[in-house]
Amino acid sequence: MRIKWQKGWRLCLAACLALMAAVSTGSVRAGAADQPGDFDLYVLSLSWSPDYCASHRDDAKQCAADRHFGLVVHGLWPQFATPRLDTASGKPSNWPAHCPNTQRNTPPGNTPPAAAATIWPSLGLFRHEWQTHGTCSGLAPADFVDLTGQLRQRFQTPSALQPTQTDRPLAASDLRQAILGANPGLPVKGLQLFCHKNRLAEIRLCLGRDGDHAYTACPATMSREDNCPAAIQLEGLGD
């Protein structure tokens, strides 16, 4: 909150005392929502590229005629298990974003790690994901890229998610079973299907933040994002 200078030091003092009282009572958690490394688990988001390209034909990096992508890495997102109070807005936040990081505006903005081009469908998407989410991982850019690649490689894509030229209907329950069957150790509550209306848009997987990053149940706060209806459509590659 900005305070006009002419209102004098009395208002400044009052504001400082109010902030100190808030901190002492625990109503403000300084830096809780945006500190690198302060999170509980990861969410690996894999986008269904044909759905994105249906409305982004001008994105030549991902949607050109020779780019036949199915599932692609959207991002690896640090996530809270329960909401934290965002100190800027005063509202609960389910994930950290745009964390202060000495590496935030250095090489990833101009020269991303070489491996990023083999994991994300475009370097523009990687740059956005690094700035928004990667800075909160507490990892160096190259380590964040490597971890994302490892977790993507671990996930086994079932045959139901191999891209085809034409659209096709699929029951959401069948897709869930196909994904779970192809990925032993993935719990039912560790998988979420996110749709745009009845079209599959993303698959989201929840993983531990430490050790071998084992699959884990997603937080209850993410339940509203698991929004696919019983009958869904897989967008085809088109012409």
- Same domain, yes or no: 49 and 70: yes
Residues 85 and 6 in one domain: no
Rounded Cα distance, 84 and 91, in Å: 8
**Domain identity same for 65 and 9:** no
pLDDT at residue 168 greater than cutoff 70 = yes
Q: What is the DSSP letter of 165?
A: S
Domain that holds residue 13: 1-30
| Geometric angle at alpha carbon 203, from 198 and 209, rounded to 5° | 150
pTM of the model: 0.83
Tell me, yes or no, whether 208 and 165 share the same domain. yes
Whether 18 and 69 map to the same domain: the answer is no
For tokens 């030229």, name the residue: 165
Number of domains in the chain: 2
| Residue 129 to residues 3, 33, 175, Cα–Cα distance (Å) | 35, 17, 27
Shared domain check, 95 and 13: no
Q: 183-192 pLDDT, tens per residue?
A: 999 999 999 9
In this structure, the answer to whether residues 137 and 205 fall within a common structural domain is yes
What does the pLDDT look like over 58-117, one tens digit per residue? 999 899 888 889 999 999 999 999 999 887 788 999 999 999 865 544 445 568 999 999
Q: Are residues 18 and 75 in the same domain?
A: no
239 falls within a domain: no
